[in-house]
Structure 1
C-alpha cells in the first residue's frame, strides 16, 4: 500500500522490544485533522474481540496520534471509528450498515477509511479485531489514505506450535523460559501470555498450541486442564484459540490402561472423556496436535495400526465441538542404514502417508514440514504435498531458527519459505503450487493452512533477538496471504518496530534480504543441508556428524565425491515420489538446479556447475562470500546509530558482531573440512592461508598448554590452548612483525557453558581491552550452550582502531573459571577492511 503521508516517529531513550511491532510510537509532523473523534465498539463484553478492538483503537490513537478518544458501545457512524461484526452493524445501524456480508468469509474483514469516518466490519468478532489492527498499522506507518477494501484469509488454519515444556523450559528455548508453564503447572501470572496473544492476533494467527509436540501426559490431568483453561481465558479476548499437543501413550501413563491401541474400546473411551473435560472448561478449544511414531515417541504403528487410525482416534470426539487434529507427517522411528545405498529417511513421509490418502477423517489435517528432512537451510518441497489429494494438509514452518543460527545469526526466513510455497509440483501436468495445495484450493479441500514452530519465551525481546521477530510477523502476514512480497512485509515490520526513518527501513531491509543467502553460503550449499552438529546443539559447524550416524541426514562425502543419489535409476528413488514432470527434472544432473544438486545427486568434487565452477570451488567461494556479507552487516547496522534507540541499537550490534565472527568460524570449518577430504586446492589461494593470523599455540606460553580440538576443523590449525588447570592463569605472548599502523585486533576464543573465564589483551604493556567469556552463561546469547571446546562455543572479540607498532609484544592473560580453562584459538591483527 502506497503511503500518502510519511511521518517520522521520535526515538525513545530506550526500548526493550517487548511491544514488538505494536509500539504505537508517536508520529511527529503534520497530522491530518480529519480523524475519528469517537470509537464505537459494538460489543461491551470484556471477553469479546470487538471490545478488545475498541480498547486497542483507543490505545493506538493515544500513542500514535496523541489523541484521547472515548470508547462506547453505541453511537453514530459519522466521524467515528466503528468496529463490529456484520450482524452487529446491521443490528446497530439497520439499512445504513455496510452491505459487505457477501464479500467476507470466516475471519475476513472489510475496512473503509473516509477521513474521520472509519468502518471496520468483521465476518466474525475475530475478523473485526484483525481489521482494527490493520487500520492501526496504517496509522503507525503514517498512512492516512482513504481506503475501502475487503480481505479474507488464504486458509482457515493459521496456527503456531509452541515448544514449551511443563517444567517451564522451552525446547530450543533461545528466548528464555516459558510464558505458560513452570514446575509442572500453568503459571499463576499469565500477563505475558495475554501480551503474546495480542501479538498473535495482530498478525491474524487464530490458534496456538501451547505445549511441546513431545508432550507430557500430565498436560491433560484435571489440574492442568483447569490451568490451560486460564490460558484460553486470556487468549479469548484476542480471538486466539488454544490447542494442545498430546502424548499418544497417555491412556497408559495417566489413565492406568494396559494399552494405547487406537482401536481399543477403553482407549477410545479414555480420549472421549478427556476431550469432554477439555471442552467443559474451554468451549472454544481448537483441537489437538499429535506427534507419533517419530524419534522414539509412541504411536499407532506400535500396534500395527495405520497412521490414519491413530489420527482418527483423536478426531472423532472433536467432531461435535468443531475441533480438528493436526497430525504431523514427521514420522521416522525406523532409522535407516547408511550402508544401504538405497536407504533414505527422506522417503519416509510419502511411503507412510500416501497409501492412506482418503482414509483420514474430514477434521484431520496432515501437517507436513516444508522439506523432507528437518528445516534445513535449503530443501526441495516435500513431495507429500503432491501425494494426498483426498486429505487435508497444512504446511509446517519454523520461526524458531533451530538449524539456522538459533536467533544469534540474522536469517530472515520468508525468502526460504517462498522456495517451497511457490514451487510447482505439476500434479497431473497441471499448475500445482504448494501454496495452493495447502490452502485447499488445488484439490478442493475444506481445511488447510499452516503451522509455524515458534519458541517465544519470557525474554523481553520474546525470541531473544529483536531482528528475529520479523520472522514471526512475516509468518502471520503470509499465512493470511501467501502471495505477499517478502520484502514489502519486512518493510512494514521495520516501520512498525523501528520507525519510519527511510535509512532505518532501507538498511534493515538490505541486511535481512541478504541474510538467508549469506547463511546458506557459509553453512551448507548446493542442497547439501545445513552442516551443523546434528548430534548435539544444532548450532555450530560439524559436518562429520551428518555421515556415519543413524539419523539419515547423510552427505555421503568421501575423498573424491559428495551428495546423496536420490535418483530412481541408481539411488534411493526419492525423485520418483514427485509427479512425472518434476521427477524427470530432478532425475538428471543436467536439469537439476545447482542449488539442489547434492540433494539429488552424488557427484565428484570436480563436477562442473552451470556457473562453470566446480563443486569444490563453489564451496570455497560461497563460504568466503557468505562470511564477507556477515561482516558487512556490522558496518551497516553501525550506520544506524542515533536513528534507533540506544538499547536496541546496542543489543542488535552485539549479535551482529557475534554473527560476523561466527561466520568466519563456519567458513573456515567447512572449507578446511572439504579441503582435507578432497585434497583439492582453492584456486584463489585463500584456504589455509591467513597472513594476519597468529596461532595461539605458536605463541610463547606460560601456564597455557596446547589442546587438540575435536572436530579438528573448528579450530585454526586444529589446535587451541587452555590453562594447565581449571583454577590457574595462563599467558600467551608474541612479538609482532606487522608494519606500524592502525589495526583491528580480533581474538578467537571459546565461551563454554559452566564457566566465565576472564581475559586481558595488551601491547607492550598498553592495555587494549579486557573481557569475560560469559555470553552463554548470562544469556546474552540464547543459542544452545556447549560444555566443550567446539564450533558451538567458538566466538571472537574485536578491538577496533588499535595503534600497533612493529615490535610490540602482544600478550593475552587468561584466567580459568569453572569448567572453562580460558581457551584461546588465535589472534588476528587486521588492516582496515580486511575480513580475516
Structure 2
C-alpha cells in the first residue's frame, strides 16, 4: 500500500453526489486556507495561442482547476511579460523567442509531446516540446494540485518524455451507433450512418484522453463500414477532428479493404491495380484536405472474414503498403493489425494451432513494409485472454515498426460487470524479457522502437466508451483507461502507484478509501483468473457467443482455434517443437527452451504449452484437477468478500456512486459462484476425479427449484448442463402464466442469507417475489439488460445466470419458502435454486 505523506490535511470537503462523468478530472475541492492561497499563482500567461490550440485549452483547464480545487480565481493573460506569481504556458520554441533566455539542455532536447514543469513558490513554468506537450504539463500540475500536494507544487523541476510516439486508442463503434464489444451504451460518435450533430461528449472524451497523454484515436470499428468515406461523413469527421484538436487528440479511421469495389464502384480492390491505388490516393487527399492533422488509418485485412489482399494472391505487406504510400505525402501512419488467422481450422490435426498464425504470416514479410507502417500486435497469441504468454511476433519483426494492442474493454474479462484491474496483467507482457540474440530485450523496449532502432512504435488499446455517464459502464473500470495512458507514457510505473493516484483523483485521499480500493483492485485479476480459467487454459468462456459467461465445452470442437484438447484423461495444448504444434519454437532460444520443457514451464502457463493428465502434479504439489477445483473456489470466495469490503466505504463515497458500484460487486459475487460451479462441474463430469474436499457437486445449503412443489412452473433442461445446479432449472408453463415454487426449509433455526439463483434473459423483464411463511422477504425484476449496460444472453445459460441475496433472514426448521415468478416478453421467469447460507458460507 502506497500512501502520500499528505493524506489527511487535504481531503475533499464534501461527499457530493456524482455520476462519474468527470472521472479523474473532477477538480474536487481540497482544503486551502488563506496561507495556502498565497502559495498558488494569481495569473495564467500563455504565448502565441489561439482558442483552438492545446495551449489555450491548458490555460482554461488551469483556470478551472485552480477555482474548483483551491477556490482561487485566476485570470488568463497573453504576452511575454508574465506578472509575478504566474503560471506561464508555452512551447519551448515560443518561450525562447519571447524571452530570449536559456533553458536547461534536457528541455531543449525534449522528445515530441514531452514537457517541462518548473515551479518556485507561487510561480510556475510549463513548457512543451509542442502545444500538446504543454497541455500534458498543465494536467500534471493539476494532478498534483488535486491531490493536495502543495509542497511539490511550490518546488519542483521535472522533464517528462513519452515512452513511444504512438499512444492511441481504438474505438469499435459502428455507423449505426452500436459498438462491437461495447458495454456502456451507444456510440458518442455515430448514429444512423452518420457522425452525430452534438459532439460535446466527444470533446469531454478528448479531455480525458489528453489528461493521460493519449495523442490519437481511431473512431470506428476495425470491421469497417465503407460508407464512412462518403463526402457527408468526411465533413462530419472534420467536425469531430475540430472538436478533439483543442486537446491535442488527432483522429484516425479504420478502413474496409474492399471499399474501392463495394463503395467506389470499381470492379476490383486489388492493391496492385493502378485504379485502386489512384482511388485510395484520392480518398486520402480528400480526407487531408478536410483534416490536415489526420493521424492515419487502421486496417484489419484477411482476418475473420474481412476482405484483404489474399483475395488477389497479394501479400499482407503489399496490402498495407497500398495505404501507407497514400498517407506518406501527408505524414500519416498506417496501423496494420497482425490479427490474421484461419478461423475454420480443424482440431483433428494435432499440429494445427491458431497461436502460430501471426509469426507464420508476418515473419516472412519483415522488412517489406513501408516506413510509416506499424504492425499492431495483440499482447498474446490468441485474443485478450485472462493470461497468455507474450506474442512471439514482437521478437520476430526486426525491420518493421510494431505497436502492442491491449484491451481496456474487458471483452473476455468480465465486460465491466466484474472488477478486473488490468495493469498487473499488462505488466506481465510489457516487462517480459524475450532474450532476443541472448540479450536483454523487454517487450516495452521493442514496442517503443528502441531495441531494433525503429523510427515508430508504441501502444494501442481498444477502449469502447459509450454514452453511459461512467464512460465504460462501471466507475471502477475507468482505472484501466487511466492506467493505460500512464503506462503508455511510462511502462516502468508500478500499477499500485498508478492506482493510488487514480483513487485520490476519482474518490478521495481518505486512507480507508485508498486502502480498500487498492485491495479490491489488486485482488481482482487473480480472483477472476481463479474462477474463470487458470494454469494458462484461457478464459473458459463461451467463445461462440458473447465471450462473457462460462462454457468450457465451447473451447474444443470449434473452428476458431481457441482449444484446450480436453478429454476424459488429459487437458492442455501441446505447443512444443518435439511433439506438438511447434509454437514454443517461435520464441528466441532462451525463452523457447523454458517453454519447451514441462519441468521449467511456469505453472500459470502449463496448459498453454503442454498436454498433461489431470493427475499431473504441479510445482505446488497439487494435481492439475485439484488445482482447478481449489482455484475456482478461492476465486469465488475472494469475489464474495468484495461486497463487504466496499460496504466499509459507505460514509466516505457519495451515495450514487457507492450504490452503483455496490450493485456490480453484488452481481460479481453471485456470477463468480456461477463460474465456479460451471467449470468445476464440467471437469468433474469429464474427468470423473473427485474433489479432495468434497465440494464439487455437493451443495448442502441449496434447495433445487426442480425439487420444489411447482405450480405453473415446469422443469427445464439447461444447456450447457453445467450452467445450472444439477443441470435443471424451472420455467413458467407459458409466457403469460405466473409460476410458483415452494418448499419446506430443512435447515436448523438460525439467521441465514437467503439466496435465489435465477436467469435474467434479454427479451423481457420478469418479476419475482420470495416469501417466507407467506411474508414477503423481497422482490426483484429481470432488468440486467438495462443495469449492466449490455445484453448478456437470450438463452438460459451461464451468461444470463445471476443471483440475488437477502441478508440476515431469520429462519426456523419447517418454515415454508415460496418464490413467485411472473414472466414477461420471451423471458419465462426462470429459477435455478434457493439457498440458505450461514455466515461465511459461499455457495
Q: Shared fold (TM-score greater than 0.5)? A: yes
Q: Contact 2:37 / 2:72 at 8 angstroms: preserved in 1?
A: no
Which of 827, 833, 839 is residue 826 of structure 1 equivalent to? 833
Shift in Å at residue 13 of structure 1? 3.0
Q: Contact 1:406 / 1:782 at 8 angstroms: preserved in 2?
A: no
Q: Give unpaired runs (5+ residues) of structure 2.
A: none
User: Is 1:5 the counterpart of 2:6 in the alignment?
Assistant: yes
Which of 365, 370, 374 is residue 379 of structure 2 equivalent to? 370
Q: Contact 1:172 / 1:784 at 8 angstroms: preserved in 2?
A: no
SS at match of 1:285: coil
Shift in Å at residue 10 of structure 1? 2.6
Moved over 4 A (4+): 1-4, 96-100
SS at match of 1:767: strand
Q: Distance in 1 between matches of 2:629 and 2:736?
A: 40
Q: CA offsets per residue over residues 360-397 of structure 1, 9 Å max, x none?
A: 00000000000000000000000000000110000000
Q: Distance in 1 between matches of 2:294 and 2:798?
A: 43
Query: What does residue 511 of structure 1 align with?
Result: 520
Shift in Å at residue 742 of structure 1? 1.2
Q: Distance in 1 between matches of 2:13 and 2:315?
A: 59
User: Is 1:730 the counterpart of 2:730 in the alignment?
Assistant: no
Q: Distance in 2 between matches of 1:36 and 1:90?
A: 22
Query: What does residue 629 of structure 2 align with?
Result: 620
Query: What does residue 817 of structure 2 align with?
Result: 810
Query: What does residue 657 of structure 1 align with?
Result: 666
User: Is 1:381 the counterpart of 2:384 in the alignment?
Assistant: no
Inter-CA distance 370–812: structure 2 relative to 1 (3 Å threshold)? same
User: Is 1:19 the counterpart of 2:22 in the alignment?
Assistant: yes
Q: CA offsets per residue over residues 650-697 of structure 1, 9 Å max, x none?
A: 000000000000000000000000000000000011111111111011
Q: Contact 1:34 / 1:115 at 8 angstroms: preserved in 2?
A: yes
- Shifted more, 92-101 versus 284-293: the winner is 92-101
Q: Distance in 2 between matches of 1:34 and 1:271?
A: 56
Which of 778, 789, 814 is residue 769 of structure 1 equivalent to? 778
Q: Distance in 2 between matches of 1:95 and 1:429?
A: 47
Shift in Å at residue 43 of structure 1? 3.4
Query: What does residue 563 of structure 1 align with?
Result: 572
Q: Distance in 2 between matches of 1:262 and 1:350?
A: 22
Which of 84, 96, 99 is residue 93 of structure 1 equivalent to? 99
Query: What does residue 136 of structure 1 align with?
Result: 142
Q: Contact 1:11 / 1:643 at 8 angstroms: preserved in 2?
A: no
Which of 65, 72, 75 is residue 70 of structure 1 equivalent to? 75
Q: CA offsets per residue over residues 502-555 of structure 1, 9 Å max, x none?
A: 111110011000100000000000000000000111000001111011010011
Q: Contact 1:403 / 1:538 at 8 angstroms: preserved in 2?
A: yes
Query: What does residue 170 of structure 1 align with?
Result: 179
Query: What does residue 442 of structure 1 align with?
Result: 451
Which of 303, 322, 326 is residue 317 of structure 1 equivalent to? 326
Query: What does residue 112 of structure 1 align with?
Result: 118
Q: TM-score, normalised by structure 2?
A: 0.98
Shift in Å at residue 96 of structure 1? 6.2
SS at match of 2:38: coil
Q: How does 1:500-539 map to 2 (within 5 A)?
A: 500-539=509-548
Shift in Å at residue 92 of structure 1? 2.5
Q: Distance in 2 between matches of 1:292 and 1:761?
A: 53
Q: Contact 1:630 / 1:663 at 8 angstroms: preserved in 2?
A: yes
Q: Distance in 2 between matches of 1:787 and 1:542?
A: 15
Q: Contact 1:4 / 1:143 at 8 angstroms: preserved in 2?
A: no
Q: Distance in 2 between matches of 1:77 and 1:436?
A: 43
Shift in Å at residue 206 of structure 1? 0.3
Q: Contact 1:217 / 1:250 at 8 angstroms: preserved in 2?
A: yes
Shift in Å at residue 99 of structure 1? 6.1
Q: Contact 1:8 / 1:29 at 8 angstroms: preserved in 2?
A: no
Q: Distance in 2 between matches of 1:335 and 1:448?
A: 32
Q: CA offsets per residue over residues 735-781 of structure 1, 9 Å max, x none?
A: 112111211101000000011111111111111001111121xx211
Q: Contact 1:733 / 1:812 at 8 angstroms: preserved in 2?
A: yes
Query: What does residue 81 of structure 1 align with?
Result: 87
Which of 115, 118, 126 is residue 132 of structure 2 equivalent to? 126
Q: Distance in 2 between matches of 1:104 and 1:501?
A: 36
Which of 336, 339, 343 is residue 352 of structure 2 equivalent to? 343
Q: Contact 2:465 / 2:471 at 8 angstroms: preserved in 1?
A: yes
User: Is 1:782 the counterpart of 2:789 in the alignment?
Assistant: yes
SS at match of 1:170: coil
Q: Distance in 2 between matches of 1:679 and 1:579?
A: 39
Q: How does 1:122-271 map to 2 (within 5 A)?
A: 122-144=128-150, 145=152, 146-271=155-280
Shift in Å at residue 253 of structure 1? 1.0
Q: Distance in 1 between matches of 2:320 and 2:235?
A: 25
Which of 488, 496, 503 is residue 494 of structure 1 equivalent to? 503
Q: Contact 1:409 / 1:655 at 8 angstroms: preserved in 2?
A: yes
- Shifted more, 668-677 versus 418-427: the winner is 418-427
SS at match of 1:642: helix
